[in-house]
Chains A and B, each alone.
Chain A
Amino acid sequence: MTTAVETPLLAVRDLRVDFVGPHGPVPAVRGVDLTLRRGETLGIVGESGSGKSVTALSVLGLLPGTARVGGSVRLDGRELVGLPGRELAAIRGRRVAMVFQDPLSAFTPVYRIGDQIAEAVRVHQPVDRATARRRAAELLDLVGIPAPDRALDSFPHEFSGGMRQRAMIAMAIANEPDILLADEPTTALDVTIQAQVLDVLRTAREETGAALVLVSHDLGVIAGAADRVAVMYAGRVVETAGVDELFAAPRHPYTLGLIGALPRLDGHGGPLVPIPGAPAPMSELPPGCPFAARCPLVEERCSAAEPALSGEDGHRAACVRSAELAGRRPAPSEVYPVPELPPGPSGGDRAGRAPVLSVSGLGKTFPLLKGTVFKRKVGEVYAVDGVELDLREGETLGLVGESGSGKSTTLFELLKLGAPETGRIELLGHDTARLTRAEAQRLRAELQIVFQDPMASLDPRMPVGDIVAEPLRAQRAPREEIARRVPELLRQVGLDPEHAARYPHQFSGGQRQRISIARALAVRPKLLVLDEPVSALDVSIQAGVLNLLQQLKAELGLSYLFVSHDLSVIRHLADRVSVMYLGRTVEQGEVSAVFDHPRHPYTRALLSAVPLPDPAAERARDRILLAGDPPSPTERRTGCAFRTRCPLYAGLRDTAARELCERERPTLDDRAGVDHGLEVDHGAACHHPQ
């Protein structure tokens, strides 16, 4: 914030982008105004299809040829829209640099990382090869890549996702640009890696003094990193304000709904506040406010004309009732209708309830093969190596872990209903190793799964009625029952039974996930395995699905095995939680015990890495940043698997204690949070638990 406040670094005025569609132009951005001052971080937040990425891309003229861009983008007063490609190329990378979402596709796979960064330097600076290479090494060092000189000669595929994203940032700041555009820079990454990358972005910004435009769908990331925020909906900015202002007192009902729809790590159960409906397709926006159809505060004048962005002292909102919201400061649940959740089965004595699933010592390895004609085994991947699960009737067990921790392998081992490689799986009192085929087939009806991506898990060529009926047919249910059940199920998950004749692509993401849930419920299972059921959905839709899951569980007395990488969702939904690292269960217990008093250093780091959608709380927290990436699961280490990244181990002074970590593999203890005076249901696999 210098004297240059009057001449903003980047001024976007009335930006409009249309894409050529088969039925005429489809708007993607409809009049966006943004102002970016020197050195500040502007967060653009919005759901998929809101036009946030298109806005960022159009600044650099990176949109495909089918896009028509109107309005004005001025960089230091110089108009960028309509600038010929040659002149734009001089600006790209030099004055405005971009960090993309998927760092794997942003690097050319056949060139070395160092050459690609050096190329970025040499394009804009008249330096020789050696200098450029030295500069590349400096940059890699700056973004925290270990042994930068060696890393220069690596190929992109040799880097992990987090390292690639760091290298991408290094390339972006190679020419000390004035503006960094980061388009969902952490979306594809795990939370601990996300925390690292956000940290690197902060460092990069401080080093170069660049202004940052951070595009994200994650309110938590925005809350932690941005100075000012613009909320986008249907191709327009609906609210813009300083980050504290925005989160404390949103003036647009959409922003309010988004904040209410987000499950929070520091929150507690109860229903979320869903925003009803789904965004209208951009090609068929109704006249007036595009949010009117979903807005609980809608009035007649809303459908008359689209409200302009207005308001004073930098907090502007595009809503006719923003003044009212500013004055009243309602909580999301006061504005949006919140569904009543029926009370679940009374907590009672956990030990008294029947066990639904118990897994002990589960292990699964995959052979590493080499050779094309004669495949020979050169090693093993220890995908799952000691998983313990315990799930009782009417409970939700959250299974948490980063990618590669073996969550999915665990699930597939469970669903296989066969003998596990090592360990024991007991489902509803049956040992899966001893099931006959007929028994396994019958047991399948008790165990159903909901997959992550509702588009991929529904056959695109099957009408929804047939999809929902499929498990019934597999269990040879009579035809009349199928005809009776299908409409009933669709109604149960909040869909119109008339839609049974439609195909999956005619539904929105949230509706598709509801279809998946209806299919899973068709045979009245006792245990529902939910594999990241909401991670492909937008926040406002996700809330509705989570509420539905809670409601169904209470109504039908289901048990859930809920797999997620999103700790906030687990915290919100689960009764117990089990944390996995490198194929092992490192901590498990009652959800509030684990989340409030984590005992394993990994759980602590994981929890501290989750961004909170609350700027004040987010700044006040201290982060435990884990160094590096999880090691490869191809070698089975002696001792604790986490010690390569463990801050606790690194800080141990006592050699005997260190040796214990190196030598002996910790097992889940049950002496639990006794010290905290809590219940005993809390164990951690650590030699030195807190």
Chain B
Amino acid sequence: MTAVAAEPTDPDSPVGRADPADPTGRPRATGRGRLVLARLLAARGAVAGAVLILLLFALAFGGPYLTPWDYAAPDFSALHQPPSAEHWFGTNGVGQDVFAQTVRGLQKSLIIGLLVALFSTVLASVVGACAGYFGGWADRALMFLVDLLLVFPSFLIITIVSSRLKSAGWIAFVLLLALFNWMITARVVRSMTLSLREREFVRAARFMGVRPLRIISRHILPNVASFLIIDATIAVGGAVMSETALSYFGFGVKAPDVSLGTLLAAGTSEAPVFPWMFYFAAGLLVLFVLAVNLVGDGLRDALDPTAGGAPRRSRRSPRSRRSWRKQK
């Protein structure tokens, strides 16, 4: 998630620069990357969200060492037991420890959620911006591809292909989910790029001799970043849930392995009677999505210089003037 937006905003990737590790170089306080990072660190919500995500990772990967129980091994002496000192989150119908299962599922879901959002957003922004910026043939070809993927019943294809990709493991699964998740975003990015392309600052860059790909990365993508970030944060939650849906049909994460999605799917029907089977997994998922949203909001505000931040002198009056001009 963080990487999604940091990628297009990197102000001076040192490709082909004279001396990337210039030791005498004065600290360039003016770089956009630094400014954005400083603003991001100053935003309390974003920091809290990042800390929360780190804690979730710590729980997911450190959790299995905290409990003696294995996520797959059943404890036949405790079936459908509520949370206790022995089984912290209780047990399920076959006596598996819900805590062990939840942290195991969290591992999978954290990675799937973040990676799917990352891959699909990067793909969408690159394809959309290129189609919109270059226009003509590139546009037609790329949009044809997008439309083709849109009309494919993605669910069906994933089900067909995933059985073949069993050996490739979860990374193939992530790629598949990402592959069927980016088209609408790409279309929106394209249309935003179409209008950005005619803006004077893009034109100015073109007349200055800036290369097209640099214009895309330095001007177009930062200006559609607000949309991309919101879209990516939504995609995180969406990926976890669509993984659930596939897992429910027996694809993706397979028993005895678990993910938050499979746990939720299994626990939903039993939630009224055995709430511990549902609410712990659900709570963690909510926390996860919330944390991603906090980071996303912080990043969006950090990238948008007119949003929030410290109140500045010159900000208020143009805004108030604009507001009544619009009404005129």
Chain A contacts to B: CB under 8 angstroms: 19, 21-23, 26, 28, 48-49, 53-54, 57, 63-64, 66-67, 100-101, 281-284, 415, 441, 444-445, 448-449, 451-453, 456-466, 470-471, 473-476, 478-480, 483, 486, 500-501, 503, 505-508, 519, 523
Nearest-neighbour CB distance to chain B for A50, whole angstroms, equals: 11
Considering only residues 157-215 of chain B, those with a C-beta below 8 Å from chain A are 199-201, 203-205, 207-211, 214
The reply to whether the CB of B218 lies closer than 8 angstroms to some CB of chain A is: yes
Some 18 contacts from A to B, beta carbons below 8 A apart, are: A22-B316, A23-B311, A23-B316, A283-B316, A284-B316, A445-B209, A449-B207, A451-B204, A462-B218, A463-B30, A470-B205, A471-B208, A471-B210, A479-B12, A479-B25, A501-B30, A505-B318, A519-B208
Does B84 interact with chain A (Cβ within 8 Å)?
Answer: no
Q: A466-B11, A479-B22 are in contact. Are A505 and B323 (CB under 8 A)?
A: no
Taking A22-B316, A49-B317, A456-B201 as known contacts, 20 extra A-B pairs with beta carbons closer than 8 A to each other, sorted by chain A number, are A19-B323, A23-B311, A26-B317, A49-B321, A63-B327, A281-B314, A281-B318, A282-B321, A415-B207, A460-B201, A460-B223, A461-B32, A462-B222, A465-B31, A470-B205, A471-B208, A479-B17, A479-B22, A483-B26, A501-B30
**B269 CB-CB contact with A under 8 Å:** no
A506 touches B314 (CB 8 A): yes
Distance in angstroms between the alpha carbons of A523 and B321 in the assembled complex: 36
Question: How many residues of B sit at the interface, in one of the four size bands?
Answer: 35 or more
Known contacts A448-B208, A457-B200, A480-B25, A463 near B312 by CB under 8 Å: no
Pair A506/B316 contact, Cβ less than 8 Å: no
CB distance from B37 to the nearest CB of A (A): 13
Give the Cβ gap from A217 to chain B, nearest Cβ, in Å: 14
> What residues of chain B lie closer than 8 Å to A486, measured between beta carbons?
30
Q: Is the CB of A26 within 8 A of B208?
A: no
- What is the distance, in angstroms, from B109's C-beta to the closest C-beta of chain A? 33
Residues of B within 8 A of A483 (CB): 25-26, 28
Question: How far, in angstroms, from A67 to B324 measured CA to CA in the complex?
Answer: 9
Q: Which residues of A contact B321 (CB under 8 A)?
A: 48-49, 282
How near does chain B come to A596, taking the closest CB pair, in angstroms?
Answer: 35
Is the beta-carbon distance between B201 and A500 smaller than 8 angstroms? no
Q: Is B328 touching A53 in the complex (CB atoms < 8 A)?
A: yes
Structural contact, B219 and A459, CB atoms closer than 8 A = yes
Taken together as a complex, chains A and B put the C-alpha atoms of A101 and B29 apart, in Å, by 44
- Chain B residues whose C-beta falls within 8 Å of the C-beta of A281 in the assembled complex: 313-314, 316-318
Binds A, one of B90-98, B142-150, B271-279, B301-309: B301-309
A461 near B303 with CB under 8 A, answer yes
B320-A283 in contact (CB<8A):
yes
Residues of B within 8 A of A523 (CB): 208
Question: Is B303 a contact partner of A471 (Cβ separation < 8 A)?
Answer: no
| Most chain A beta carbons < 10 A, residue from B204, B311, B321 | B204
Q: How far is the CA of A456 from the CA of B315 in the complex (A)?
A: 17
Other-chain contact of B320, A21, A460, A466, A474 (Cβ < 8 Å):
A21
Q: Is the C-beta of B35 less than 8 angstroms from some C-beta in chain A?
A: yes
* B324 & A64 in contact (Cβ 8 Å cutoff): yes
Nearest-neighbour CB distance to chain B for A61, whole angstroms, equals 13
Q: Which residues of A are found within 8 Å of B35, using beta-carbon distances? A: 463, 501
A64 touches B327 (CB 8 A): yes
Q: Is the CB of B222 within 8 A of A473?
A: no
Please state if B209 and A444 are interface contacts (CB–CB under 8 Å).
Answer: yes
At the interface, yes or no: B283 with Cβ under 8 Å from chain A?
no
Chain A residues, Cβ within 8 Å of B214: 473-474
Contacts of B222 in A (CB 8 A): 459, 461-462
Pair A451/B200 contact, Cβ less than 8 Å = yes
**Pairs A-B, 7 closest by C-beta atoms:** A465-B30, A281-B317, A503-B305, A444-B209, A64-B327, A457-B200, A478-B18
Name the residue of chain A whose CB is nearest to the CB of B16. Answer: A476
Q: Shortest Cβ distance from B315 into chain A, in angstroms? A: 7
Q: How far is the CA of A505 from the CA of B313 in the complex (A)?
A: 11
Q: Determine if B32 and A466 form an interchain contact, defined as CB atoms under 8 angstroms apart.
A: yes
Nearest CB in chain B to that of A500: its residue? B30
Q: How far is the CB of A470 from the nearest CB of chain B, in Å?
A: 6
Measured between C-beta atoms, what is the minimum distance from B168 to chain A in Å? 39
A480 touches B22 (CB 8 A): yes
**Least Cβ–Cβ distance between A547 and chain B, in angstroms:** 23
A614 to B19, CA, bound (A): 60
- Closest residue of chain B to A458, judged by CB? B201
Give complex CA distance A101, B25 in Å.
52
Q: Is the CB of B328 within 8 A of A57?
A: yes
Chain B residues near A519: list those with CB within 8 A: 204, 208
Known contacts A281-B313, A281-B314, A461-B223; is-contact A444 B320 (Cβ 8 Å):
no
Distance from B32 Cβ to chain A, minimum over Cβ atoms (Å): 5
Contact partner of B317 (CB less than 8 A), chosen from A54, A282, A479, is A282
With A57-B328, A451-B204, A503-B305: A26-B316 Cβ-Cβ less than 8 Å: yes
Given contacts A23-B316, A501-B35, A506-B315, contact A441 B305 (CB under 8 A): no
- Determine whether the beta carbon of A444 is less than 8 Å from that of B305: no
Complexed CA–CA distance, A549 and B218 (Å): 29
Residue in contact with B324 in the complex, picked from A54, A452, A479, A501, CB distance below 8 Å:
A54
Using CB atoms, name the residue of chain A closest to B199. A456
Residue numbers in B under 8 Å from A441 (CB-CB): 209
Question: What is the bound-complex CA distance between A182 and B203, given in angstroms?
Answer: 36
Provide the bound-state CA to CA distance between A453 and B204, in Å. Answer: 12
> A300 CA to B222 CA in the complex, in Å?
48
Given contact pairs A66-B323, A478-B19, A479-B19, A466 touches B30 in the complex (Cβ within 8 A): yes
Q: How far is the CA of A445 from the CA of B208 in the complex (A)?
A: 7
* A475 to B32 CA separation, bound complex (whole angstroms): 20
Q: Please measure, in the bound complex, the distance between the C-alpha atom of A22 and the C-alpha atom of B200, giving whole angstroms.
A: 30
A523–B208 CA distance with the chains assembled, in angstroms: 9
Q: A471 — which chain B residues lie within 8 A by C-beta?
A: 208-210
**Nearest residue in B to A411 (C-beta to C-beta)?**
B207
Distance between Cα atoms of A471 and B205 in the complex (Å)? 8
Residue from A23, A101, A281, A507 with most neighbouring chain B CB atoms (10 Å): A281
B residues near A503, Cβ cutoff 8 Å: 305-306
Residue picked from B199, B207, B211, most chain A C-beta under 10 Å: B207
User: Using Cβ atoms and an 8 Å threshold, which residues of chain B touch A100?
Assistant: 328
Q: Are B314 and A507 in contact (CB under 8 A)?
A: yes
Complex Cα distance, B30 from A480, in Å, reads 14
CB distance from A93 to the nearest CB of B (A): 17
CB distance from B40 to the nearest CB of A (A): 14
Tell me whether B305 and A505 are in contact (CB under 8 A). yes
**Which chain B residues border A63 with CB–CB below 8 Å?**
324, 327
Give CA–CA (A478, B18) in the complex, Å. 6
Digitize B1-28: 1 where CB-to-A-CB distance is under 8 Å, 0 elsewhere: 0000000000110001111001011101
What are the interface flags for B92-121 relative to A under an 8 Å C-beta threshold, 1 for contact and 0 otherwise?
Answer: 000000000000000000000000000000
Q: Which residues of A are found within 8 Å of B30, using beta-carbon distances?
A: 463-466, 486, 500-501
Q: A456-B199, A457-B200, A479-B25 are in contact. Are A474 and B209 (CB under 8 A)?
A: yes
The answer for the CA separation of A501 and B309 in the assembled complex, in Å, is: 14
Q: In angstroms, how far is the closest chain A Cβ from the Cβ of B38?
A: 9
Inter-chain contacts of B31 with A (CB < 8 A): 463, 465-466
Bound together, the chains give a CA A519 to CA B207 distance in angstroms of: 12
Bound-complex Cα distance A505 to B305 (A) = 8
Cβ contacts under 8 Å, B314 to chain A? 281, 505-508
Closest CB in chain B relative to A515 CB, distance in Å: 11
Q: In the complex, how many angstroms separate the beta carbon of B266 from the nearest chain A beta carbon? A: 45
Known contacts A21-B316, A22-B316, A483-B25; A473/B18 CB under 8 A: no
A101, B19: Cα distance in complex, Å: 55
In the complex formed, the residue of B with least CB distance to A17 is B324
A23 to B22, CA, bound (A): 45
Residue of B nearest to A23 (CB): B316
User: Quick check: A449 and B204 within 8 Å, CB to CB?
Assistant: yes
- Residues in chain A near residue B11, CB distance under 8 A: 466
Chain B 221-254 residues near chain A, CB threshold 8 A: 222-223, 225
Q: Give the complex CA separation of A100 and B214 in angstroms.
A: 43
Report the bound CA distance from A348 to B186 in whole Å: 59
In the complex, which residues of chain B have a beta carbon less than 8 angstroms from the beta carbon of A21?
316, 319-320
Task: State how many angstroms separate the Cβ of B267 from the closest Cβ of chain A.
Answer: 44
